[in-house]
Amino acid sequence: MPWGLLKYGLASKYPARRDIPGPRELKKSYEIVIIGAGGHGLSTAYHLARYHGITDVAVLDKGYVGGGNTARNTAVIRSNYISPEAIEFYKASVEMFENLSNELGYNQMYSQRGQLTLAHSDASVRAFRLRAEINKHLGVRSEMVDRKQIREIVPCLNMDKKMRFPIQAGLWHRDGGTARHDAAAWGYAMRAAQMGVEIHQRTEVTGIHVDKGKVVAVQTARGTVRCNHAVQAVAGMSSEVARMAGIRLPIRSYPLQAMVTQPVKPFLDPLVSSAELHAYVSQTARGEVVIGGGSDPYELYSTRSTLDLKENLIAHVLEMFPFMGELKLLRQWAGITDMTPDYSPILGTSPVKNYWLDAGWGTWGFKATPISGKCMAESLANEKTARLIQPFGLERFRRFKLFNEAGATAASH
Amino acid sequence: MYTSPNRLPAPAGRLVDHENTINFSFEGTQYTGLAGDTIASALAANDVWLLSRSFKYHRPRGVLSMAGLEANTLVQVDNEPNVAADRRKVTQGLQVSGQNCIGSLANDQAEKISLVNRFLPVGFYYKAFFQPKGAWQNIWEPIIRKFAGLGQVHPDTPHGYYDKQYLFSEITVVGGGPAGMSAALAAADAGAEVLLIEQETVIGGSLNYGRFDTEGTLAHTLHDELVTAVTDHSNIEVMTDSVCNGYFADNWLPVIRGHRMYKLRTKELILAPGKMEQPAIFRNNDLPGVLLGTAAQRLIRLYGVRPGKQAVVLTAGDDGYATALELLENGVNVTAVADLRQSFDATPLYKKVLACGISIHKACTVYEALPDKHTRGIRAAALRQLAGIGQCGNEAWRYDCDLLCVSVGFMPSYQLALHAGGKLKHDEAVSGFSITGLPACIHLAGAVNGKNELGSVIESGRQAGQAASRKLGLAVPGAAASRPLNPISYSSINHPWPIFPHPRGKEFVDLDEDLQYLDIIHACRDGYDELELVKRYSTVGMGPSQGRHSALATARVVAEETQRTMSEVGVTTARPPLHAENLAVIAGRSFEPERLTAMHHRHLEAGAHMVTAGQWWRPAYYGEPQHADRWILKENLAVRNNVGMIDVSTLGGLEVRGPDAAEFLNRMYTFSYSRQKTGTLRYLLMTNPAGRIIDDGVACRLDDEHFYITATTGGVETVYRTMLWWNAQWRLDVDVTNVTSAYAGISLAGPKSRAVLQQLCTSTDLAPASFPYLSVRTAQVAGIPARLLRVGFVGELGYEIHAPSLQGEALWDALLKAGREFGMQPVGIEAQRLLRLEKGHLIVGQDTDAMTTPHEARMTWAVAERKPFFVGGRSLQAARRYPSNRKLVGFSVEPEQDEVPGESNLILDGDSIAGHITSVGYSPTLNKIIGMGYARADTEPGMLIQIKLKSGCRQSVQVVEMPFYDPQNKRQEM
């Protein structure tokens, strides 16, 4: 029994700790307004307060804390990307996750169980080999594994050579892992609030006031608040919110669906994904099997579920794990992914002065929650884009400095 | 003679066959049930009530709803986990066991966890287990993971047969209860074709088991009348045992029956799924023996099972009195009824129960169920006088009982309506919900439409049936006066606060997740007081029953704790599926099409090693894999010295026809095609809007308005789709058809290819002057009509012969025969890859990536910059101001080394990555290892580049001009 729980058993009255502050008046002005109380917005707020002493900050959300894509993602944390800039960035995030529970005093249930990506074609084998080479060169634990090694890593995988697309090889990423996605938002919210940051749930932003090319205020359903800086961290709605500030983002938004089964006794430790089958599978601490795939084929702002995606995805999962046929699907849901042309985020300054972007997170936002908050806070505090995120500026699209990340993102998230 | 302790004689047990016994085992013990029994009812008949252990505290659990709605009844059936015992029928020899216990179900070692309950507050796993760093992953997670999950999957479970079928109907009614039957009849009378979907084995719904009057005859009479009318109606098709398991946009419905999923499209949809009875919250409300009133009624009427010997009933309306009468008439001794209401009109049902001499306590609740250590069920109910809402007074009674029936309110079966975009709206006045915001093609009937009284339920069904018919344009008879169906008054009430906290807890709000009243309160106090946060923090509603029995109570507790109304708090959404569904049902039969070229069998006969290329199978080389190098070498040399033939049928083929055909290609591809002469062919390079290479091929101009173009094997589908997408906007007068499968293709390459072809192609002059390089002819080859393309992918004199697929094999045979005297050899794709590498030709997707521009690939010669427009052109022009920092270069190395460069090896610039090797191989013709890859943009032939070998060692190699082979292109143009 850990000490942390003793007080709950011994106290006569429940020692409530009010992690997320209750409703309060909105002030007339703040130094910084953060739009979106998801993982990224709250991580930014936390880092501002904790490392830069800036607490005159309001985090606004139209719904509840962590209710957007923070709540909907499938919590894959990895750093096996292709471009050196992305690898450095996500690797720093993985390192932050390793210590995040202790930094926040909030268990993130971070677990490096490793991620195995399967190749069923020559083309994938070639692509993975390249990723492994780049990853190793930059200090990320990532290696090609053959069929024998795959059997050792996930003994229950279908290694039948008569399978339509037999598994040829795999990319084994030991640093890959998972965490409890909600806990990231809650942990950051709790610590940020303790240091004086205000979190306003049910406070929808309805307009952004720009004067002489600089952001001056944010209009909300509860009144207008002035600010010196504003940050948008609204994955799934990035284009719409940026439009309020008069900014056009190179983003197309697609639904991304995921699903989960009823809990069963653990049989799968690592995260397994497949490039050809567009599917990934992991088993949570509760015993549920989480299943995800690629984004929907057309743009949409609706989080409805579809039957055809479920049929195809499950058929592919059963190719990998045929014995799962009698496992029962419990729930299907969707989030909206803001896809950029190069499958990489947009971070930093915008054409509007003092209006900062934390956008374009597509299917890879959760894993960057700690590092993007850290970098955004550093940028805001110094009024200068932090080094790690400089390559990810909106500017790059005008200069055609796109990243080559399409291959590292599909169905691996 | 078959006997079971709790089995009631017919007519009780509408669904079971009293003559037909079934033997099965549970936890290793043999039991006998009846055909038609569910696992749970058969066990109940044998007086076995303990079915499972709960998720967290391993508390004993049994039947609650008898409707397959909760985790309590999940059991393991052979290899299948989490089977709802109150839905799955018993079959001969079935082996059933309990889940989530250490030891046995009856003596679960893990039960002791509930002793430390107070140390495991809501969200406890967020509050501890993380110190020191790594403790979670290394110490705690493995322990907690051991306790995770319910049933077990076995890796050796075979994949059963499952399939799918399409269905269509004009009007679909989901739910075969009184409302659904009434709706179906109204619609069918109006002339609509109606499909009625019922999840039970028979239609009738609550009329099969419910009681609505003192005599217990009304349900029976109505049942016979409606069921007969539905069954006899020629416009109604009934599907029983079928679950409409979700709603998807535009009335697209998965209907699951056994191992088959029907995919149903319906014009109009009537939802009549009924309602879900809700538990009351008091101490030990989770133990076996505490049943919903409807569950007791179901056991009696559907399965002929006496639900207990001695019962106490908790109610807030006539539902409980009806249950009490059912119990009394079926051999259960009802000792007391606790009614939550202070005062109410004496209804006939109430009066009859009173007349039976049963103690009825008004303004009274069950405060606690007392556990029976021996049976794991209950032994008594402790009642308390109510002093106010949720407040228990001091006056107390205690009644011995082994059955406690709870009837305190309902929730509409809202799930399908919510999948369709409906919203639950709470009406504070009646403590009930209504559903709003549905698409116009969906109609609600019965309880889900807020109707509780049987007469209005049936009338609501009739109205829905008529409304749906009107939507179809059918004439509907004028509003017939609805007849009074219910001669007696019957009041079914949703009690607003059937929640009674106990100082010692164990009043479960969510049975799946073992969440008690205070857990919800504490979640709010910890700051998680938005309903969705309560859910995520406490996990309420996240278990197998998805909040069916906990959502209402949770919303009530949160509303109370946060001083808001139910409407302000809201209820969480429902997501598909309705009931947990087997993955195999969703997947169905696995269809992974395989595409075979016309010559496939010839390759097999020739001993080819076949590999996949997308959906296609292609020969990698001809011979067994252990000597692959030898075969590749042999095939390579055949092409260089004599002649080889390659099956290129998988290459994409598209016909582009119409007055704007050339203009269309001009816009789709980088090169220029307006002035291309008929009878010639020209290279095609396609870029995406960002100017990155996505495909290539050749364009054969067959006449002014007709091009035959090729695309890559893997790219043709995308190319075709992209073309249609663009032309939907351009509206050029052009028609594009994907004819990939219509043509077989054979590439004949090598210095002797002309000689071979000429033998079969006697009517066409193949001499270079009349059929030069980069031209196209139509001709007869061995009597087969074909298109001949003079191309040079592998750098030798060569022809691609495209002929109708049906004749592909004949063509192959004819060529093989004709080539015999010239030393012709069939060649696989491995040798072809090497041959084209020698020639310095790139393969899109291998030597290019998602970001490669024509400039980087040194293909600017294929970009007509002066064209007014092509896809990607604007980007390429703009990008010229920002030069790329890499380009594709060729290199060569002497072959005699310990470690040679391999594909994907990095090309370094100092310590940073400049690029990588995209293709590399040993060229027998040049006796060198040659390759290409991306290096710094300023790299020129003669310079050295650094390669990081697989071992990590670095090697400097020399950049050379490409092509490596025949730089003057003499051989392909001869």
pLDDT at residue B486 greater than cutoff 80:
no
| Chain B contact present for A403, CB below 8 A | yes
**3-state DSSP assignment of residue B359:** strand
Tokens read off for B549? 């029995």
Chain A residues in contact with B121 by the CB 8 A cut-off are 5, 8, 14
User: Which one of B159, B248, B882 has the shortest CB-CB distance to A318?
Assistant: B159
Q: pLDDT per residue over A144-198, tens digit each? A: 999 999 999 999 999 999 888 899 999 999 999 999 999 999 999 999 999 999 9
- Stretch B235-260: mean pLDDT, rounded? 97
Q: Residue B869: how many CB atoms within 10 A of its CB? A: 11
| Chain A residue nearest residue B885, CA to CA | A401
Q: State phi, psi for B406 to the nearest 5 degrees.
A: -115, 120
Q: pLDDT per residue over B406-420, tens digit each? A: 999 999 999 999 999
* Burial per residue of B610-622, b for 16 or more beta-carbon CB atoms within 10 angstroms, e otherwise: ebbbbbbbbbbbb
Q: Residue A405: how many CB atoms within 10 A of its CB? A: 22
Tell me how far CA of residue A76 lies from CA of A226, A339, B537, in angstroms: 37, 18, 20
With tokens 């059929």, the residue in question is: B771
- Stretch A31-52: mean pLDDT, rounded? 98
219-238 of A, contacting B, C-beta below 8 A: none
With tokens 């994955």, the residue in question is: A235
Q: How confident is the model at residue B490 (pLDDT cuts 50, 70, 90)?
A: confident
pLDDT at residue B488 greater than cutoff 70:
no
- Radius of gyration, CA atoms only, chain B: 38
| Chain A contact present for B725, CB below 8 A | no
**Do B577 and A287 lie within an 8 Å CB cutoff?**
no
Please tell me whether the peptide bond between B967 and the residue prior to it is cis, using omega within 30 degrees of 0. Answer: no
Q: What is the pLDDT of residue B110?
A: 87
Single out the residue of B240, B276, B235 nearest to residue B468, CA to CA: B235
Contact between B723 and B870 under an 8 Å Cβ cutoff? The reply is no
| Chain B residue nearest residue A72, CA to CA | B536
Q: pLDDT per residue over B446-483, tens digit each? A: 999 999 889 999 999 999 999 999 999 999 876 665 55
For B878-909, the DSSP string reads: HHTTS--SEEEEEEEE-S--SS---TT-EEEE
| Chain A contact present for B139, CB below 8 A | no
DSSP state of B305: B
Q: What is the mean pLDDT of chain B?
A: 94
- Stretch A73-85: mean pLDDT, rounded? 93
Rounded to whole angstroms, the Cα distance separating B637 from B922 reads: 13
Tokens read off for B756? 């071979």
pLDDT at residue B361 greater than cutoff 60:
yes
Say how many residues make up chain B: 974
Contact between B96 and B39 under an 8 Å Cβ cutoff? The reply is yes
Q: What is the pLDDT of residue A95?
A: 96
Q: Which domains occur in chain B, in start order?
A: 1-155 (3.10.20.440), 163-276+411-471 (3.50.50.60), 279-408+491-501 (3.50.50.60), 507-584 (1.10.10.1100), 602-879 (3.30.1360.120), 885-974 (2.40.30.110)
**Do B150 and A263 lie within an 8 Å CB cutoff?**
yes
pLDDT at residue A380 greater than cutoff 70:
yes
Q: What is the pLDDT of residue A253?
A: 96
Locate the domains of chain A by residue range: 29-75+181-251+342-409, 112-175+253-339
Residue type, B635: E
Q: How many CB pairs under 8 A join A and B?
A: 304
- Stretch B892-915: mean pLDDT, rounded? 93
Q: What is the pLDDT of residue A411?
A: 47
B304 CB-near residues (< 8 Å, 6+ apart): B7, B8, B9, B10, B12, B13, B16, B18, B34, B45
| Chain A contact present for B246, CB below 8 A | yes
Strand partners, B352: none
Q: How confident is the model at residue B882 (pLDDT cuts 50, 70, 90)?
A: confident
Chain-centroid distance of CA B694 in Å reads 31
**3-state DSSP assignment of residue B387:** strand
| Chain A residue nearest residue B415, CA to CA | A331
**Do A101 and B130 lie within an 8 Å CB cutoff?**
yes
**Percent of chain B clearing pLDDT 90 (strictly above):** 85
Tell me how far CA of residue B409 lies from CA of B175, B433, B514, in angstroms: 20, 12, 21
- CATH fold for the domain made of A29-75+181-251+342-409: FAD/NAD(P)-binding domain (3.50.50)
pLDDT at residue B484 greater than cutoff 60:
no
**Do A323 and B263 lie within an 8 Å CB cutoff?**
no
pLDDT at residue B701 greater than cutoff 80:
yes
| Chain A contact present for B845, CB below 8 A | yes
Rounded to whole angstroms, the Cα distance separating B350 from B373 reads: 34
- Stretch B707-731: mean pLDDT, rounded? 96
Rounded to whole angstroms, the Cα distance separating A130 from A120 reads: 16
Chain B residues in contact with A342 by the CB 8 A cut-off are 851
- Stretch B8-36: mean pLDDT, rounded? 96
Total-model pTM? 0.93
ipTM, two decimals: 0.95
Rounded to whole angstroms, the Cα distance separating A38 from A35 reads: 9
Q: pLDDT per residue over A213-267, tens digit each? A: 999 999 999 999 999 999 999 999 999 999 999 999 999 999 999 999 999 999 9
* Burial per residue of B387-403, b for 16 or more beta-carbon CB atoms within 10 angstroms, e otherwise: eeebebeeeebebebbb
pLDDT at residue B362 greater than cutoff 90:
yes
pLDDT at residue B608 greater than cutoff 90:
yes
Q: pLDDT per residue over B905-941, tens digit each? A: 999 999 999 999 999 999 999 999 999 999 999 999 9
Contact between A412 and A74 under an 8 Å Cβ cutoff? The reply is no
Rounded to whole angstroms, the Cα distance separating B747 from B725 reads: 31
- CATH code of the domain occupying A112-175+253-339: 3.30.9.10
Three state DSSP letters for B764-825: CCCCCCCCCCCEEEEEEECCEEEEEECCCCCCCCEEEEEEEHHHHHHHHHHHHHHHHHHCCE
Q: What is the pLDDT of residue A5?
A: 82
Domains A29-75+181-251+342-409 and A112-175+253-339 share a fold: no
Sheet holding B652-657, edge to edge: B681-687, B693-703, B706-711, B652-657, B735-738
**Percent of chain A clearing pLDDT 90 (strictly above):** 87
Rounded to whole angstroms, the Cα distance separating B302 from B3 reads: 18
Residue type, B497: W
**Do A317 and B162 lie within an 8 Å CB cutoff?**
no
With tokens 């009434």, the residue in question is: B182
Q: What is the pLDDT of residue B483?
A: 57
Q: How confident is the model at residue A413 (pLDDT cuts 50, 70, 90)?
A: low
